[in-house]
């Protein structure tokens, strides 16, 4: 018998620089391709760094790209899950910048717009109008951890019986505002090559995209004869309370987050098969994450890898897209590698090629400005 509070993942949808569908996205993750390019419009700007990862082949209003990315990903997810439009849905969306292009247009006096309509809240309102089955929504602006926060909220709402299905994910279109901020903080890669955990890493590269998952109680999914992709077991959250942008040097906030999740779910470190790392490619963030993993998993070394060298840092969409990769790794019993990883610095197990192996339990990690730490746990459906 299943636990009546267990949460099943029954649908996935993705839009990013690698692909705009799940099959092509997964295949691209397993080769050495990358969606990161030099962009001509950045060459003709004041930006020092011109590398970015962008979505192509989706027609949309340039001021509402976040909404259109979300629709494209949600359509894939609800189709795979065969969602009933008579069910009561909840929408849980994470974003960092919202429709950043609209704010940029306002700042440049190119548009007179209502700013609220282009926030994450505004994206949710438009999605609610498009999908009448959405009975409630929540929007999370918890930066790069926003997708995991949305997963946690969707899981909680399902377990409380507030909704029948949760449409959960994150979205962020490319943002010149974000590019400016990260450039000024010297977080961007001068080489244009994202190298998480590598001894010669020199910074991050921005991306854009959307990722959405359909969640529902196992009981509901069983009654519908839905296809189980994985189980979302839990999500742990913690806060460093240390610095607005820098991680805590001793990694204690991240360590606490890992330990909290393992303890709550009665798991030993040896039961974790893969850690889908935050892995941005910046010096401090990677160091903080790596030393936390080494501390918690000191007697057992699960595989650790990051997909950001392939799709860039998609901000509020990152943990949502990486949650999708976590589910796909369980489905395919394969762990994606970390592109551009050559020179080891940390005592963690980073694959340079995809690994075909048993994948039963996966941790999906996301850390954000403000010292926000988030880790979700996915398991195979037995």
Question: Rounded to the nearest 5°, which phi and psi values hold at 251?
Answer: 60, 20
What pLDDT shows up at residue 123?
A: 96
The boundaries of every CATH 3.40.47.10 domain in the chain are 7-223, 232-379
Q: Which residues, including other chains, have CB under 8 Å from residue 339's CB and lie 6 or more apart?
A: 32, 34, 194, 309, 310
Query: How far from the centroid of its chain's Cα atoms is residue 5's Cα?
Result: 24
User: For residues 371 and 239, what is the distance between their CA atoms, to the nearest angstrom?
Assistant: 5
Considering the domain delimited by 232-379, tell me its CATH architecture.
Answer: 3-Layer(aba) Sandwich (3.40)
User: For residues 338 and 348, what is the distance between their CA atoms, to the nearest angstrom?
Assistant: 13
Higher pLDDT, 1 or 377: 377
What pLDDT shows up at residue 50?
A: 77
The model's pLDDT over 148-163, given as tens digits with 9 standing for 90+, comes to 999 999 999 999 999 9
- Helix (H) or strand (E) holding 272, with range, is none
Give the active site residues.
144, 278, 313
User: Is the pLDDT reported for residue 2 higher than 60?
Assistant: no
DSSP string, 120-176: HHHHHHHHHHH-TTEEEEEEE--GGGHHHHHHHHHHHHHHTTS-SEEEEEEEE---H
Pick the CATH number of 7-223 from 1.10.1040.10, 3.30.70.2750, 3.40.47.10, 3.90.1150.10: 3.40.47.10
The model's pLDDT over 342-367, given as tens digits with 9 standing for 90+, comes to 999 999 999 999 999 999 999 999 99
**Structural tokens at position 292:** 């936390």
Number of H helices, E strands in the chain: 12, 14
The model's pLDDT over 153-206, given as tens digits with 9 standing for 90+, comes to 999 999 999 999 999 999 999 998 898 889 888 999 999 999 999 999 999 999
**Structural tokens at position 224:** 């519908």
Its pTM stands at 0.96
Q: Which pLDDT band, with edges at 50, 70 and 90, does 106 fall under?
A: confident
User: For residues 245 and 324, what is the distance between their CA atoms, to the nearest angstrom?
Assistant: 27
The model's pLDDT over 301-347, given as tens digits with 9 standing for 90+, comes to 899 999 999 999 999 999 999 999 999 999 999 999 999 999 999 99
User: For residues 250 and 287, what is the distance between their CA atoms, to the nearest angstrom?
Assistant: 10
The model's pLDDT over 79-101, given as tens digits with 9 standing for 90+, comes to 999 998 778 999 999 999 999 88
User: For residues 158 and 146, what is the distance between their CA atoms, to the nearest angstrom?
Assistant: 18
């Amino acid at each position: 018998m299943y636990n009546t509070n267990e949460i099943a993942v029954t649908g996935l949808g993705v839009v990013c620089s690698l692909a705009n569908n799940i099959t092509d996205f997964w295949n691209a993750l397993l080769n050495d391709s990358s969606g990161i390019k030099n962009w001509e419009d950045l060459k003709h700007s004041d930006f020092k760094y011109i590398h970015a990862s962008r979505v192509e082949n989706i027609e949309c209003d340039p001021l509402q790209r976040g909404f259109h990315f979300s629709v494209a990903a949600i359509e894939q997810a609800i189709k795979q899950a065969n969602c009933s439009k008579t069910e009561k849905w909840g929408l849980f969306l994470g974003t960092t910048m919202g429709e950043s292009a609209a704010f940029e247009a306002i700042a440049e006096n190119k548009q007179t717009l209502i700013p609220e309509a282009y926030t994450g809240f505004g994206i949710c309102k438009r999605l609610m109008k498009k999908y009448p089955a959405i009975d409630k929504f929540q929007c999370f602006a918890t930066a790069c951890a926003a997708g995991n926060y949305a997963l946690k909220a969707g899981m909680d709402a399902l377990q409380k019986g507030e909704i029948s299905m949760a449409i959960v994910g994150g979205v962020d279109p490319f943002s010149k505002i974000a590019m400016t901020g990260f450039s000024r903080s010297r977080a961007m890669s001068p080489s244009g090559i994202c190298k998480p955990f590598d001894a010669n890493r020199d910074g991050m590269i921005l991306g854009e995209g959307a990722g959405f998952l359909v969640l529902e109680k196992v009981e509901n999914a069983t009654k519908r004869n839905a296809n189980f992709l994985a189980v979302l077991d839990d999500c742990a959250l913690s806060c460093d309370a240390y610095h607005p942008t820098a991680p805590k040097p001793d990694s204690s906030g991240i360590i606490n987050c890992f330990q909290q999740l393992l303890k709550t779910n009665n798991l030993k470190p040896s039961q974790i098969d893969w850690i889908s790392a935050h892995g941005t490619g910046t010096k401090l963030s990677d160091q903080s994450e790596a030393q936390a993993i080494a501390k918690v998993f000191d007697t057992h070394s699960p595989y650790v890898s990051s997909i950001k060298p392939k799709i860039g840092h998609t901000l509020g969409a990152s943990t949502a897209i990486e949650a999708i990769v976590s589910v796909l790794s369980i489905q395919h019993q394969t762990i994606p590698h970390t592109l551009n990883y050559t020179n080891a610095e940390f005592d963690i197990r980073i694959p340079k090629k995809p690994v075909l192996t048993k994948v039963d339990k996966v941790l999906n990690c996301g850390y954000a400005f403000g010292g926000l730490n988030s880790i979700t746990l996915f398991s195979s459906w037995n």
